[in-house]
Amino acid sequence: NVAVKQTVMSKLLLPKASRRSLFFYGSANALMTESQRAEKLGTCIIHPFSTFRNYYISFMLIVTFLNLVIIPIGISFLKTQEILEHGWVIFNLISDTLYLIDIAFNFRTGIVTDDSEVVIMDPKQIRNLYLKSWFVPDLIAAIPADYFAVIYRVLYANKFGHDGEEVGYAASRLFRIILLARVLSLLRLLRFSRLMRLVNEWEQVLDLDVEITQLFSQIFSLFLTILLLCHWNGCIQFLIPALQSFPVDSWVVKENLTNAWWVEQYSFSVFRALSHMLCIGYGADNLPSDTLEIWAVIISVLSGAMMYTIMLANVAALITNANPAVKAYRDKLNQVQDYMMYRNLPRALRNRIYDYYHIRYKGKWFDETSLLQELSDSLKEEVLSHLCSKLVRSVPLFCDRDPNFVRAVIVNLHYTVFQEGDIIIQEGAFGDKMFFIEKGSVLVQTGSYQKQLSDGDFFGEICLVVKCYRTATVRALTICHLFSLSVRNFEEVLQMFPEVQEDILETASDRLQ
């Protein structure tokens, strides 16, 4: 049983290799380390990059969308007997149960924060963050209104008979109206914003034009919101006279829809709402006489005007405020493409150049060298120390050295990327720099020796202290993110720290022996 439990856990709850997870962690080795960390916790926490989480989010998005569409229809159009016959109460009970389960899952799901590269898997931290963020809105949206209605009906149906049923569902209807209002106000918080965040995360790792996909996804979400607004508006148009038992002067009675099929009632209601929102086909000759209907029309017209304004503003903002880094990246790729066409480079070489830019800059162009030079010396050292401190201190030449010396070495590191199959070091070439592996795997190979290095390892360090030719070939097995330190820069650092130079030479002599 324990083995089966561990197998199921590894397959469902632990992070799995995917474009999204590899993009977040940077390499397969880092992802494997994260998986081992999550498994050692032994707290049955759902990892946000797990297979179960991916399927669960898709399932809950479908359930939520159905609720946002079906709940207003049930409140506004379906009568008590129709609701019982069509299983409306069963649908609501299942939905409420799923939302309560969703709250429980949120307490056991790891959290990815924007300011950290580590997934929070500690149950106490997850609980505190969830209680401070979405717990109260989620709890309000998950009020099990129909549970109260069913309990009321079971306890008092025999006493009140048919009237008891009507009173029971009247209470349920009241609760559902409150729940609907909460769902409407919390749409962005509950599922829609989460959907957009997931879309944005996937866009970063897809081999598509990031700017275009983001533009279309945001326009699609806006269009879907407008459709839901029209749907809710149509339901409210019919709900107001329904709550008043259909007064004689209501539009429902005038259109002879009181006892019509609910689909016909819904169609007329949505058409009426669209007429208000789009300002078409609704004139002064058909003004409502009831005060509540008048206010409903006013709100409908105003919501339509706001819809126009928001839609135009969002579309304009999406087009004009597109990511400048993405634009610069596309412009740079256009220049590269023109150059490759001018030089008539082979197709295979062009594809490798495209892949290099994609791997190196990930769809956004920036000049890292100039950006770091614009920072103050302390900020530059802090940034580079965050990126490279562990890598540098893992080298015996720099281990246990003066912190100022180590910082001087770090400042002189240069970031570079190699693709799978690239020759990083060629045997017999003159050594002019050493390399630190941030992410990726390389193969060190001679005529009779092979060794694989990966994240956190280093190679080529002897050339820093002894002028020599390379004794091995180093080839990239995967995409490699490296930092390099040139001999020239290292000698400049040694001149600033002459007391360290002798120790470095002694350490190098010991390693050569």
Q: Tell me: the pLDDT tens digits for 50-89? A: 878 878 877 877 787 788 788 788 777 776 555 545 567 7
Q: What residues contact residue 476 under an 8 Å CB cut-off, 6+ apart?
A: 418, 419, 420, 421, 422, 423, 424, 440, 441, 442
Give the HSE-up count for residue 483: Cα atoms under 13 Å, Cβ half-sphere.
Answer: 19
What does the alpha-carbon distance between residue 78 and residue 95 come to, in Å, rounded to a whole number?
18
Query: Any idea which residue has 């129709």 for tokens?
Result: 82
What does the alpha-carbon distance between residue 209 and residue 326 come to, in Å, rounded to a whole number?
9
Give tens-digit pLDDT for 230-269. Answer: 888 888 888 888 877 788 888 888 888 888 888 888 888 8
What is residue 178's predicted lDDT score, i.e. its pLDDT?
A: 42
- Between 6 and 279, the more confident residue is 279
What does the alpha-carbon distance between residue 115 and residue 83 come to, in Å, rounded to a whole number?
48
CB < 8 Å & 24+ apart, contacts of 220-227: 221/192, 221/195, 221/196, 222/310, 222/311, 222/314, 222/315, 225/187, 225/192, 226/307, 226/311
Task: Quote the pTM value.
Answer: 0.56
Q: Which segment of 113-122, 223-232, 263-272, 395-404 scores lowest on mean pLDDT?
A: 113-122
DSSP state of 275: H
How far the first Cα of the chain sits from its last, in Å, is 54
What is residue 197's predicted lDDT score, i.e. its pLDDT?
A: 44
Instruction: Give the pLDDT band (50/70/90) at residue 195.
Output: very low
What is residue 292's predicted lDDT score, i.e. its pLDDT?
A: 79
